Structure 1
C-alpha cells in the first residue's frame, strides 16, 4: 500500500499556490465605466435644391422627400441600425443591462437642428429600447456654445484672427490652394458633366457651369469661422450632396448618371476633406471653436472620479452619453486634439453620416483609468443597402491615437490624468463659458 504523508493536502495546496500565484489577478478584468458617443447626424436631404445642384451637372439630381437639411426616412432607419449595434456592443461590455434599468443609464444631447435631434431620437429607440428617452437641447432661438462656440468666437477680432490663421496656411493665396486640388476637381467635373475624358474639354457642356471656372478668393472675415471660395470649396458642397444621395439609396442611374460607384465617390470626396482640413483643422481655429465642447467632454469623462472638474459635465452622471452634432463638430474637436482616423472606402479623417468619435473610460485590472477612443461609421455599402448591424456584422471601426497621451497598447490606452492635462493645455479659457447646458 503506497504511503501518503498525513499532511499531503497541505503540501498540495502549497504547491498549487506556488504554481499559480497570479490566478486571482489574471481573473480580474478591465471594467468599462463611462462612454461618450460624439456623433454626426445621419443621412439628410441635400442642403441645395436639385435645380441649384444641377447647374454643375449634365444629369438631373434626385429629389428628397423631406425639406433641405432634414433627416430622411432612410436616415432614421440607418440610425436605428446603428443603435442596435451599440446596444449589443455595450451590453456585452457590461455597460448596459438590456432592460428598463438602461433608461436611467443613458443621456442624449443634440444640437438644436431638426437633423441632429431626429438623429438622436432614432438612435435612442434601439440603443435604449423601451425607454421614453428625452433628447435634450437648448431652447428654440438660443445658441448652443458646444456646437456654435461661445460669444467670443463671433467677435470681430476672433474672425480676423481665424482668417489670418487660415490664410497663413496657404500663403494667403486662394488661387494656388485651389489649383493644388485640380486633380480631384477634374475627376469630379468629369463625373458631373459625364465626360469621356479627364479633364473635360472646355466646350464639353457649354450650357452648364464648370467647377474650374469658379473664382478663387479669401472672403472678408466673417463673424465666426472663415471660409475659402473657389473650385475646391464648391466641389466640397457638391460631393456632400452626392454622398447623402448615395447613402439615402437614391437611383442616380435612372436619372441618366453613369460611372457613379463607390470607387468614384472615394475620389470625389477628396476636395471636401481638403477644405475641412484647411478650415477646421487649422490649430488656432480648432482651439477657438472647439474649446467649449472639449471642456464639457473632459468634465464628462472625469465625472465619477476624484479628479476636479472646471466645467459642467454633459448629463447627470449617466454612464452612457450621446452627443448628436455635425461633421464640423467632430472635425474641429479632432483638430484641437490632433486626432486622425482612416476607414476603408473613405478619405482620411472623413466624417460620414452617422459616424462617431467614441470615448470610453475603462478601469483597468491594474487599477488605472484610461481612455480608449475609436471612430465608428457605416460603410458606403452598409449605408446604401441599409444592412443590419450586429456584433458579427459591425460597422467600420478604427482605433484612434491621442497624441501626447496614448500608449503603445492595442487600444492606444490614454491615462485619464494625462488626458486631462493634455486637454486643459489645448483648451483656450478665453473661448469657453462656464454656465453649461
Structure 2
C-alpha cells in the first residue's frame, strides 16, 4: 500500500484545492447585465369593493384596519423595504448597481397609479438607495400598461374566453363548485357565525363574461376575496383574535383557507385569451427592455422595477406557461410583494442568457417582518425549459429561446403604444 508523508499529503491537498479553485473560477464567468422586475404591491386591507362583497356574503362585519381600505399599510411598507434591501444587496454584490445614488441609466422605477403600488415602489427604492429620493414614475390616471384594452371584446373573443374558463374548471361550473366543496366548507367554518346566515356559501356560482372580455364567477369571486383578506390579516401581523375571527393559530392553518384564491386564478385570470389581452402591452415592454430597444419603451436601464398587481403577474405567467408552488402557499399564489423577475446575463464569450424566476416572502416572513439574507432568503422558483442549464448564477436559458418564449403569445393587435 502506498503511504504518503504528512508533507506529501499537505501538498496533495493543496493541489486539489488549487484545482477546484481553478474549476470554480472557470465556471464563474457570468455577468449580470440587466434586471426587469414586475412586483406586486405590499400588504393592504381589503379594497372597498372587496369589503362590501365579503361582508354581504358572510352577513357580518370584518376586522377594521388602521389604514384606509385598499391602501398599503405601514407593516406592508416595511415588508417591501426588507425585500428591496435584500435585492439591492445582491445586485451590488453582482456588480449590477453601485453604491451611489442612481441615474436613469442604472435604475428606473415605474408604478401603477394606485396608492398601494406607488408606496410599495417608494419602499423598495428607499431600501435600495437610502437617502437618494428616487422618483416613482406613475401616471395620474388609468395606465394601459396594467389594464385590459379599452373597448368591448368581440363576440368571438368573449365566447373564446367563456370556453377557456369552462375548460379550466373541467367543463361544468356546478360540478366545479361541488368538487371544491371541502375547501368551501373549510372557509365557511372560519368566517361564518354558527346558526347565522352566510349567504355566499349557499348560492350557486354564476359565470359571466364582462363587456371587455374579462371573466367573473359570482360566488367564487367573493370566496376568493375572503381567502385573500384572511391572508392579508395574517401577513399584517394582526392579533390572532382578529385573524380569521380568531379561528387560526399558525401559518399552516391560514394556508389551508387559501386554495379558493388559486382556483379563482385558474378559472378567471390564467386563461390564454384573457392573459393575451391583459398582458401583451406589459410583456412587450419587458421584451423591449431585455433587448435594449428604445422606441415606445421604458428607459433602457440596468434595473427596471415595475410595481403592479397580482393580476398582472398572473397574466404574465400564463403567457410564459410558468407554474409554481412555494412554501405553505397553494399553487400559483402571488403573495404581497412577490415579484416576477427577468435577468439578462452574459458569459465570457459574450453569449447572452435569460433567467426567469418568481420570488416572494413566506407567510411568516411577512407577518414577522423577517430580515432577508442568504441564510433566510425569500421563496424562489425558476422557470426551466429545454435548453436551459443550471449554473452558479441560477437557471440560465439561451437568449434567443428565452425571448421566443417571452414574445410568442404577445397579441400585437391589442398593444397600446405610449411614452414613458
Class of the TM-score when normalised by the shorter of the 2 chains: 0.7 to 0.9
* CA deviations over 1:349-388 (Å, ceiling 9, x no partner): 1100000011110012342111111211111111111122
Q: Which residue of 1 aligns with 2:202?
A: 213
Instruction: Kindly indicate whether the alpha-carbon contact (under 8 Å) linking 2:59 and 2:198 is maintained by their aligned counterparts in 1.
Output: no
Task: Specify the SS of the correspondent of 2:145.
Answer: helix
Q: Which residue of 2 aligns with 1:118?
A: 119
Q: Which moved more, 1:45-54 or 1:26-35?
A: 45-54
Aligned residues: 398
* CA deviations over 1:56-97 (Å, ceiling 9, x no partner): 559853211122111111111111111111111111111121
Q: Which residue of 1 aligns with 2:228?
A: 240
Which structure 2 residues correspond to residues 313-324 of structure 1 after superposition, within 5 A?
313-314=297-298, 316-324=299-307
Task: Specify the SS of the correspondent of 2:125.
Answer: helix
1:104, distance to aligned residue in structure 2 (A): 5.0
Matched, 1:37 2:21: no
Distance 1:286 1:220 in 2: 14
Per the alignment, do residues 27 and 243 of structure 1 end up closer, same or farther by CA in structure 2, a change over 3 Å counting? closer
Task: Specify the SS of the correspondent of 1:66.
Answer: coil
* CA deviations over 1:180-212 (Å, ceiling 9, x no partner): 211111111122237xxxxxxxxxx33231543
Per the alignment, do residues 392 and 102 of structure 1 end up closer, same or farther by CA in structure 2, a change over 3 Å counting? farther
Root-mean-square deviation (CA, aligned residues, Å) is 2.8
Instruction: Kindly indicate whether the alpha-carbon contact (under 8 Å) linking 2:87 and 2:128 is maintained by their aligned counterparts in 1.
Output: yes
Which structure 2 residues correspond to residues 5-84 of structure 1 after superposition, within 5 A?
26=26, 29-48=29-48, 53-55=54-56, 61-84=62-85
Task: Specify the SS of the correspondent of 1:151.
Answer: coil
Q: Which residue of 1 aligns with 2:12?
A: none
Which structure 2 residues correspond to residues 189-228 of structure 1 after superposition, within 5 A?
189-193=188-192, 205-228=194-217
Q: Which residue of 2 aligns with 1:337?
A: 320
Q: Which residue, out of 363, 375, 381, partners 2:346?
A: 363
* CA deviations over 1:311-355 (Å, ceiling 9, x no partner): 6332x2210011100110001000011011221111111100000
Instruction: Kindly indicate whether the alpha-carbon contact (under 8 Å) linking 1:184 and 1:271 is maintained by their aligned counterparts in 2.
Output: yes
Q: Which residue of 1 aligns with 2:162?
A: 163
1:126, distance to aligned residue in structure 2 (A): 0.8
Q: Which residue, out of 310, 326, 348, partners 1:327?
A: 310
1:268, distance to aligned residue in structure 2 (A): 1.2
Q: Return the index of the structure with the highest Cα Rg.
A: 1
Q: Which moved more, 1:114-123 or 1:47-56?
A: 47-56
Instruction: Kindly indicate whether the alpha-carbon contact (under 8 Å) linking 2:109 and 2:306 is maintained by their aligned counterparts in 1.
Output: yes
Q: Which residue of 2 aligns with 1:134?
A: 135
Per the alignment, do residues 274 and 52 of structure 1 end up closer, same or farther by CA in structure 2, a change over 3 Å counting? closer
Any gaps of 5 or more consecutive residues in structure 2? Answer: 1-18
Q: Which residue of 2 aligns with 1:406?
A: 388
Task: Specify the SS of the correspondent of 2:264.
Answer: helix
* CA deviations over 1:164-185 (Å, ceiling 9, x no partner): 4323444663212222211111
Q: Which moved more, 1:42-51 or 1:124-133?
A: 42-51
TM-score (norm 2): 0.86
Which structure 2 residues correspond to residues 95-114 of structure 1 after superposition, within 5 A?
95-101=96-102, 105-114=106-115
Any gaps of 5 or more consecutive residues in structure 1? Answer: 1-18, 195-204, 304-308
